[in-house]
Structure 1
Amino acid sequence: MKIYGLTGSIGMGKSAVATMLRREGVPVFDADAEVHHLQGPGGSLLAAIEARFPGTTGANGVDRAKLGATVFGDPAELKALEAIVHPAVRAARARFLRHNRSRAVVVLDIPLLFESGGQRRLAGVIVVSAPAWKQRRRVLARPGMTAEKFRRILHLQTPDAEKRRRADYIINTGTTIASTRAQVHALVACLVRKAGR
């Protein structure tokens, strides 16, 4: 089994590419979706998060706005949250890999792949990218997003140019959906060929 990483900065279209990969028959582990599950209603991390960050959880799971206000801009608090969340995500990823061990190619969708140093254990890295103006337009169209919040998020992420430089494969989403889909189809064919299947 060849394990590839999928990453890209906010607003680059990574989720759309992950969906296209699944439609091509490639299993994709979505780290963000796993975090939402763990922090959602009845999530297994709620008690630990509430104990460390009182008042940030409720019947609907983690109140992301309250938790975000607590940890954003405070490296120590962010580290404390990561110490709760990361081990649970790693365990879920290990289950995913065991479940898909007979597959030729699997993809781990990890937003902060380069930031966490996770690329070292992979067969290669797929970076999703688009022009900066398109990224900004996409992100600022999201509910509750502001230019200041967008700037803070970008500050925490490896710059797009650096991600592209370090990528093994680049999917350009600054074009049409059909073009992006064609790029993904060609990439999957290439990866499966490399895996000898």
Structure 2
Amino acid sequence: MKVIGLTGSIGMGKSTTAAMFRDAGIPVYDADAAVHDLYDEGGAAVGPVGEAFPGVVKGGRVDREELRRRVLGQPDELKRLNAIVHPLVGRDRVGFFKAAEASGADMVVLDVPLLYETGGHANVDAVVVVSAPPEMQRERVLARPGMTPDRLDAILAQQLADAEKRARAHYVVDTGRGLEHAQAQVTDIIAKLRT
């Protein structure tokens, strides 16, 4: 079973591209969704994150916005958070792989925003990077509720530059040219991965 890493900076259209793989019948593991579940009420990360970052657990769940404020632009704090969360996500991913194998899948997609930044690219057979022009990226992200230019810049500072991601990728999906074009690229990538 081939393991495909799907990544891209914020606002590039990665979630939409992941849905295209999923619609093609390929199991997709969404790392962000896994973290969201871990932070939710009863999630395995609630206790340890609450101990490490007092005040971020509210109503039995991790307040993601409060946690983001605590770690954004704070490399040591982010490293401490990742040391708690990454092993929990890893355990969750094992279950995903078992289910995909049991279903007879010939490939799976790991949707991981910080694939290169965390070294995850070393554990996949191919990397697909989702990209769009920088002005389109900014427009998409700044349209999100609560997003500001300063916050966007802080997020981008933690991510490998788009040009570097594209240079290191096996495949690139350009979402700047519309959904139809992106879908055609995804279809082509799947066909190439199956040869």
Residue matched to 2:106 = 104
Q: Which runs of 5+ in 2 are unaligned?
A: none
Determine the C-alpha separation between the residues in 1 that align with 2:188 and 2:73: 40
Q: Which aligned pairs between 1:80-99 and structure 2 lie closer than 5 A?
A: 80-99=80-99
AA of the residue aligned to 1:85: V
1:1-197 aligned at under 5 Å gives the runs 1-59=1-59, 61-101=61-101, 102-192=104-194, 194=195
Structure 1 CA distance, aligned partners of 2:79 and 2:21? 32
Distance 1:82 1:48 in 2: 12
CA distance in 1, matches of 2:24, 2:56: 39
- Secondary structure at 1:66 match in 2: helix
**TM-score, scaled to structure 1:** 0.94
Pairwise CA RMSD of aligned residues? 1.1
Given the two structures, how large is their TM-score scaled by the length of structure 2?
0.95
C-alpha distance in structure 1 between counterparts of 2:118 and 2:171, whole Å:
19
1:141-181 alpha-carbon deviations (Å, 9 max, x no partner): 00100000001111110000000000100101001112211
Structure 1 consecutive aligned stretches of length 4 or more whose deviation exceeds 6 Å: none
Percent identity over the alignment is 49
Q: Report the 3-state secondary structure (helix = DSSP H, G, I; strand = E; otherwise coil) of the residue aligned with 2:65.
A: helix
Any conservation in 1 of the 2:6–2:109 contact (CA below 8 Å)?
Answer: yes
CA shift, 1:60, in A, is 5.9
**Greater shift after overlay, 113-122 or 142-151?**
113-122
Superposed displacement of residue 51, structure 1:
1.2
2:12 aligned partner, one-letter code: M
1:47-77 superposed Cα distances (whole Å, 9 cap, x missing partner) = 1111111110122621112111111122221
Aligned residues: 193
**Range with bigger deviation, 100-109 or 53-62:** 53-62
**Residue 177 of structure 2 aligns to a residue in which SS?**
coil
Q: Deviations along 1:2-43, whole A, 9 cap, x unmatched?
A: 101000000000000001100000101010110001001221
Residue 181 of structure 2 aligns with an amino acid whose one-letter code is S
The unaligned stretches of length 5 or more in structure 1 are none
**Contact 2:40–2:61 (CA under 8 A) maintained in structure 1:** yes
Partners of 2:77 and 2:123 lie apart in 1 by 27
Q: Secondary structure at the match of 1:158?
A: coil
